[in-house]
A and B are shown apart, each in its own frame.
Chain A
Amino acid sequence: MTEQNPGFSTLAVHAGAAPDAATGARATPIYQTTSFVFDDVDHAASLFGLQAFGNIYSRIGNPTCAVLEERVAALEGGTAALAVASGHAAEFLVFHTILQPGDEFIASRKLYGGSINQFNHSYKNFDWHVVWADGEDPASFEKAITPKTKAIFIESIANPGGLIMDIAGIAAVAHKAGIPLIVDNTMATPYLIRPFEHGADVVVHSATKFLGGHGNSIGGLIVDGGRFDWMKSGRYPMLSQPRPEYGGMVLGETFGDFAFAIACRVLGLRDLGPALSPFNAFMIITGIETLPLRMQKHSDNALAVAKHLQAHPAVEWVSYPGLPGDKYHDLAKRYSPKGAGAVFTFGLKGGYEAGVKFVSNLKLLSHLANIGDTRSLVIHPASTTHRQLTPEQLRSAGAGPEVVRLSIGIEDAADIIADIDEALASI
């Protein structure tokens, strides 16, 4: 199996997970240990000096987490990955590696509300500045670029509306400016969209969602696309300058096309500490083995539910790129031909009150703040995930008062539709 390019489903089951070298265990063992013994003093020095491959301490790396990393790197078509405690931690470590105090990055306004908060508020403490652009218009990113701009950030399929971004168009803007494009691929997963194939340089994930897929474990991933030249401009000193903590090593020179992932690990994860638990890594690895099956079922079910809602008298509009005639249908056909994912929004004619009643009436769908579970989920963003945003921000994020977000699970579509119909009948 070494000389051909294995298919996606084969990688989902096998990548990164040979039998355990010491015991022959075929499933990936949970290495629930903080630390690893060294072969000798010289071996320890080699590991601490980044001169040998190996394990030191589970905050920096762990063999169970490493299987998850290699698995997701393979599925995305990247050179390397880093598993971290959450999707938020993944974003934080990426920007910590890219930005210096005073720097700017450009982000699409169409993002997960948690990311909007992180960028708008927490990052100010680091003197990192987000500049918002219109995700539907690559030219708006170009207009926002200043001499301080170090990166562009988008979601492949944007939360909560399920909008498809023109990844290649925005990548072209980034590369013209000599900066990397970071894509949050949580909603699509590499089964539906592989952002590196469209020009992305770094991919981040909340593995909590579809990768893990069962709503049981928080986790995040950073994937290195391996193509961005971090040395060329001198504007990314974490990679291009000698690092005092590693004896003057230049990470971008020493680690070639996986230097970004290494820098996130040995400068970010090591010093800031948001490590993933090996147990959570095991749960997410197990989830990924069925990712292709689940994502297809999620997408097929979501399309069936969206079509049904489109014809329902209580529903004002449905925003799902899988629907013919949707504003993003052409982009969906181009970027996500197997399906448009599980998550979408619709608007109730009854507005805010109808939204609150609808989520209360549901018996099969669960009212909670997550997406990407085997179970169908529902939330009314204006009263929950997006309530910290101003009315104007709510509108621009696609989370107005009448908006309901669904994350369609892998139950039988008929049962999901029946529950929705019953709840809509009494709003």
Chain B
Amino acid sequence: MRAMSDTPAPLARHDAYPDDLIRTILRSTKSIALVGASSNPARPSWIVLKYLKERGYRMVAVNPGLAGGTILDVPVVASLKDLAEPVDMVEIFRNSEAAGPITDEALALPWKPKVIWMQLSVRNDAAAERAEAAGVQVVMNRCPKIEYGRLSGEIGWQGINSRILSSKKPVLSTKGVQKLTIAPRGPGRG
């Protein structure tokens, strides 16, 4: 679960991320290519795809075995170079070693994603350095669903420690009663 890729100098700046940085990324991102998508509802990648789609992100699934089909009505392509249009974020749902070549593939595209995000337990510091050298922001070893749930306050409904204190009420989604959003909290909102 916690296997990290071997690199000479671990990037300490990737051991922890400020909440504001994660919040800014998740707010500014509109489209996400999820590499390693699964069609099995018991798999974390399926659950994350569904959650992010419900939160309004335009999703594309990447899985060569399922290319041409759909998962949860999301189109599936074989690889990043088959994407019909650019995406803001590439999310890597593969192991830490595989994250290296996938990062390189993303960096070789005619357009660049703004963010490369490696899933919880996935970390490849060498790939992160290459992406950052190309001007792409990197988040590693984090789950976007957990982070969204933490920042919105939803995750507390399951007794999980969000580590966030606030005297401002969380903002309800307009799409349902039991959904909170990461929109700015404060008077007159929500």
Interface residues of A (CB under 8 A from B): 1-3, 6, 10-11, 14-16, 18-22, 24, 36-40, 43, 46-47, 49-55, 61, 63, 65-67, 69-70, 73-74, 78-83, 229, 231, 242, 246-250, 252-254, 256, 258, 261-262, 265
Contact = CB atoms under 8 A, between A and B. Distances in A.
A22 B180 CA distance: 10
**Max chain A C-beta neighbours (<10 A), residue from B2, B157, B179:** B157
A265 B1 CA distance: 22
A2 B20 contact: yes
Given A70-B156, A80-B161, 13 more contacts: A1-B165, A2-B165, A2-B166, A21-B153, A39-B179, A49-B41, A49-B47, A61-B159, A73-B160, A83-B159, A253-B1, A254-B44, A262-B158
A84 to B, nearest CB: 11
Contacts of A24: 169
Contact of B143 (A37, A250, A256, A262): A256
Contacts of B162: 16, 70
A246 B41 CA distance: 9
Contacts of A22: 172, 177
Nearest to A65: B159
Interface in B16-66: 18-20, 40-42, 44, 47, 50-51, 54
B1 A6 contact: no
B159 A18 contact: no
A52 B180 CA distance: 11
A254 B159 contact: no
B167 A229 contact: no
Given A22-B172, A248-B42, A53 B154 contact: yes
Contact of A53 (B18, B19, B157): B157
24 contacts: A2-B164, A2-B165, A2-B166, A16-B156, A18-B153, A18-B166, A19-B168, A22-B172, A39-B175, A39-B176, A49-B47, A51-B41, A53-B155, A53-B158, A61-B159, A70-B156, A73-B161, A80-B161, A81-B161, A231-B1, A249-B42, A256-B143, A258-B160, A265-B158
A39 B159 contact: no
Contacts of A83: 159
Nearest to B120: A256
B190 to A, nearest CB: 7
Contact of A40 (B20, B44, B158, B176): B176
Interface string B176-190: 111110000000001
A82 B158 CA distance: 8
B170 interface: yes
Q: How large is the interface on B (under 10, 10 to 19, 20 to 34, 35 or more residues)?
A: 35 or more
Contacts of B165: 1-2, 6, 10-11, 14-15, 18
Nearest to B173: A39
A81 B155 CA distance: 12
A73 B179 CA distance: 23
Contacts of B54: 46, 52
Interface in B107-130: 120-121
B171 interface: yes
A21 B172 contact: yes
B100 to A, nearest CB: 22
Given A66-B159, A253-B44, A256-B121, A39 B50 contact: no
A93 B2 CA distance: 27
B167 A18 contact: yes
B50 A70 contact: no
A21 to B, nearest CB: 4
A78 B161 CA distance: 7
B169 to A, nearest CB: 4
A248 B43 CA distance: 9
B163 interface: yes
Nearest to A11: B165
Nearest to B169: A19
B144 interface: no
Contacts of A21: 153, 169-172, 180, 190
Contacts of A81: 159, 161
Nearest to B160: A80
